[in-house]
A and B are shown apart, each in its own frame.
Chain A
Amino acid sequence: MDTTWEASEGEGERCYESSIRAGARLVAAGLALVLFGRAVASAQTDEECLACHADKEIVKELSSGELVSVYVDEEPLRRSVHGFIECVTCHQDLADTELPHKSETEAVDCTGCHGEVAEAYERSAHWQGVRQGESAAPRCRDCHGTHYVLAKENPESSVYRLNLPKTCGACHDNPDIISRYRLRGSFSSYAGSIHGKAVLQWGLTVAADCADCHEAHDVKRGDDPGSPVARANVAATCGRCHPGSLSTWRRGVHGVIASEGKSEAAVCTDCHGEHSIRAPVDRGSSVYVTRIVDTCAKCHANREIVGRFGLPLDRVSTYRESFHGVGTKFGSTVVANCVSCHGHHEIKPQSDPSSSINPANLKQTCGQPRCHLGATDLFAKGTVHVSFTGTDDKILMAIRAIYVFLVGATIGGMIVHNTVDYMGKRRLRRAAKVRQWPKR
């Protein structure tokens, strides 16, 4: 029945499937079958097609000389979403031909039934690739299969929520494809993420699969402004599943400046990562307690970004010098890191009265039960981000100067003294002709 799949390789055959309105499609296809299928396609019945194509030995020869099987297994075909339509509904060019038909057949065009999906697909980077003749660019059948297409709700479907990452990964884990198209993510990076583990290992359908962030048919490159994962859109995209985090982030300073269109504003992926995103409690997470400082430092120790917003450049370096910073360096999960004081999604500037680092709230922030419980007003007074080395604080500078002198003078003096003392000892012992005191 089907000899066109292999022959149509590279011809831009269009076969689309709607994952959004599968039910409606079924009805439409059923109607088409009733109205046109039986009436129009009088020439070939499925029995006639299968008379040949049910033969497991049946092959056809490609132009390259390669022999490929054109066997069709009827049982799974009937179980597929297209099980109730006739062969010639898709293979329209064979509807009225003489049998056996010619081996060059036309590409199956899915758009006839799946028009809406086709429109979405035509906006995708995949379709762009197909048009540009990229042989790796996927078309309908690459994701959905050919004769045995199953509904996306069917756990056996290649595009079922829990199977989709592997289907995408067939190409998106291929180093050649990743480097050729300069792709940032890969199946492997996703597989190790919290989303990937939830989907692939734990079988949770609530966790994000590829299509949840990238769209199923309208897949665009991340640097395309229309992509749901583009910088300007990614927060809203994550917020579809994480609405609580989205709303707190929007209230925080990052969300506020992002809404002003400033692209420097940290969006979800800047802190949490993209495909390799992990749970915050995961040691490998970029927001894990001991690693969050490095993550904040990407921007807050960046002279250019910090300068653009008139923020002090030494916030990270002074933190690292602090006892908290040293503790974090040791891998302590108890000492304060950036978010302990500043919050995470809802970070607010000090001037904001509701900010956790507003002077009025510092006592409470420092006095969190797991930190300095019982912190007094006095404790919260003073400068927090203090530099001990590059300080401009007069007292700290004086202490430093005094001790630099003390250490230099004392230790230097001791070394000089002991050198001379050593010479004296040598002299004395030479005079007494003693090399070593008798062992006790």
Chain B
Amino acid sequence: MAEKVKPHMAAQPIEGRGPSSAEQIRAQVLAEMAEDLKRRGFGAAAVAELMLAAGRIPDEFERLSVNQRVQHLILLVSFTVLCVTGFALMIPTERLPTLPFAGDALFDLRGLLHRIAAAWMVGLAFYHLYYVTFTREGRRDLRDLMIRPLADMAEARDNLRYGLGLRDEPPRFDRVTYKDKLEYWALVWGTVVMTVTGIVLWSESLWSLRVLDICRAIHGYEAILAALAIVAWHIYNVHLRPGVFPMSKTWIDGKISREEMIEEHPLEYERLVMSCRRKESGPEE
């Protein structure tokens, strides 16, 4: 539907067509500025904003801000390190002597890396609390991520019904879908559980063996749940899902293409486009 729309290509030199009206000139100037910004490597958000202000639909939209991408990167690295160094405890005995630095070095390194990564992750969690409380962007994220049980379940139901062929149209997802909410709140839950039990295990001398045993059991089981959830949910959504396979690059450049936007977040797309001024030279949608 959006194939023929190439707003930046459609941007004509002003003298070539001749100004028909002030509005048109303004749109053209904005479109050219957007082109310029894009050429000079500005972010998708600025480009898209100018494009939309010019009444044109941009090629790319911003999905993740720099702030969000940094948060994601810290989470990605710390979560991976935590998984590797944590599940290392489950390596079968026979394999261990063949690993490099087997012995004290390996075990101590494992523990040290686990604690460093844990500290980063907990630090990130506290920053995130600040982010969703005191930044405009964070407050907006939290608002969008709030669970609306009925609406979210209806969205999930419609999506599944469409997949099963019981419905003709897929649900019209907004910026934040029920999938994002599930993943976000699962992460919040997991971080709270792992942080509390992890801090208890870290300060083992202060607790009774009973409490430590319980925390150790929970820490282990929750880790399995979290890691498997990441594999089953996140890996599908950002690696295996048709359209992004083998990997969505959004976590690196923060961008989402117009095509993906239309397919995955039609409601957000529509809202963005509707909010822009419609001009005769603007998009048909």
Instruction: Name the contact of B93 in the complex, choosing from A327, A329, A393, A427 (C-beta under 8 A).
Output: A329
| Cβ of A424 to closest chain B Cβ, rounded Å | 3
B224 contacts chain A at the CB level, 8 A cutoff: yes
**B209, A333: Cβ atoms under 8 Å?**
no
A388 contacts chain B at the CB level, 8 A cutoff: yes
Q: B218 contacts which chain A residues (CB < 8 A)?
A: 399, 403
Q: A424 contacts which chain B residues (CB < 8 A)?
A: 159-160, 162-163, 170
**B207, A379: Cβ atoms under 8 Å?**
yes
Instruction: Name the contact of A418 in the complex, choosing from B104, B205, B232, B260 (C-beta under 8 A).
Output: B232
Instruction: Name the contact of B89 in the complex, choosing from A326, A384, A411, A415 (C-beta under 8 A).
Output: A326
| Cβ of B151 to closest chain A Cβ, rounded Å | 17
| Cβ of A153 to closest chain B Cβ, rounded Å | 45
Residue total for A at the interface (Cβ-Cβ under 8 A): 56
Q: Can you list 7 A-B pairs, Cβ within 8 angstroms, ordered by A?
A: A331-B107, A379-B209, A411-B228, A411-B229, A420-B164, A422-B240, A425-B243
**B259, A437: Cβ atoms under 8 Å?**
yes
| Cβ of A13 to closest chain B Cβ, rounded Å | 54
Q: B207 contacts which chain A residues (CB < 8 A)?
A: 378-379
Residue total for B at the interface (Cβ-Cβ under 8 A): 57
Q: B259 contacts which chain A residues (CB < 8 A)?
A: 434, 437-438
Chain A residues numbered 143-167 whose CB sits less than 8 Å from any CB in chain B:
none
**A432, B225: Cβ atoms under 8 Å?**
no
**Bound-complex Cα distance A437 to B259 (A):** 7
B216 contacts chain A at the CB level, 8 A cutoff: yes
**Bound-complex Cα distance A330 to B100 (A):** 11
Contact with A along B230-251 (1 / 0, CB 8 A): 0011001100111100000100
B103 contacts chain A at the CB level, 8 A cutoff: yes
**A418, B236: Cβ atoms under 8 Å?**
yes
A436 contacts chain B at the CB level, 8 A cutoff: yes
Residue of A nearest to B97 (CB): A331
Identify the interface centre among A373, A386, A399: most chain B CB within 10 Å of its CB: A399
**A440, B243: Cβ atoms under 8 Å?**
no
Q: A423 contacts which chain B residues (CB < 8 A)?
A: 163-165
Task: For the complex of A and B, list the 6 residue pairs with the smallest distance between their C-beta atoms, beginning with the closest.
Answer: A382-B209, A424-B163, A403-B221, A331-B103, A420-B163, A332-B107
A374 contacts chain B at the CB level, 8 A cutoff: yes
**A334, B209: Cβ atoms under 8 Å?**
no
A400 contacts chain B at the CB level, 8 A cutoff: yes
| Cβ of A391 to closest chain B Cβ, rounded Å | 9
**Bound-complex Cα distance A423 to B160 (A):** 9
**A383, B222: Cβ atoms under 8 Å?**
no
**A330, B222: Cβ atoms under 8 Å?**
no
| Cβ of A56 to closest chain B Cβ, rounded Å | 59
**Bound-complex Cα distance A190 to B148 (A):** 76
Contact with B along A348-385 (1 / 0, CB 8 A): 00000000000000000001000011111011111110
A414 contacts chain B at the CB level, 8 A cutoff: yes
A407 contacts chain B at the CB level, 8 A cutoff: yes
**Bound-complex Cα distance A326 to B170 (A):** 50
B102 contacts chain A at the CB level, 8 A cutoff: yes
B263 contacts chain A at the CB level, 8 A cutoff: yes
| Cβ of B30 to closest chain A Cβ, rounded Å | 23
Given A381-B209, A428-B263, 9 other A-B residues pairs in contact with their CB atoms under 8 A: A327-B107, A333-B103, A372-B205, A386-B213, A399-B218, A407-B225, A410-B225, A410-B228, A425-B241
**Bound-complex Cα distance A438 to B237 (A):** 18
**B224, A403: Cβ atoms under 8 Å?**
yes
Instruction: Name the contact of B96 in the complex, choosing from A331, A334, A374, A399 (C-beta under 8 A).
Output: A331
Contact with A along B32-68 (1 / 0, CB 8 A): 0000000000000000000000000000100000000
**Bound-complex Cα distance A329 to B97 (A):** 9
**Bound-complex Cα distance A326 to B87 (A):** 11
Q: B232 contacts which chain A residues (CB < 8 A)?
A: 411, 414-415, 418
**Bound-complex Cα distance A432 to B110 (A):** 49
Q: A434 contacts which chain B residues (CB < 8 A)?
A: 243, 259, 263
**B243, A429: Cβ atoms under 8 Å?**
yes
**Bound-complex Cα distance A403 to B225 (A):** 8
B136 contacts chain A at the CB level, 8 A cutoff: no
Q: A376 contacts which chain B residues (CB < 8 A)?
A: 205-206
Residue of A nearest to B234 (CB): A414
Residue of B nearest to A382 (CB): B209
A262 contacts chain B at the CB level, 8 A cutoff: no
**Bound-complex Cα distance A422 to B170 (A):** 12
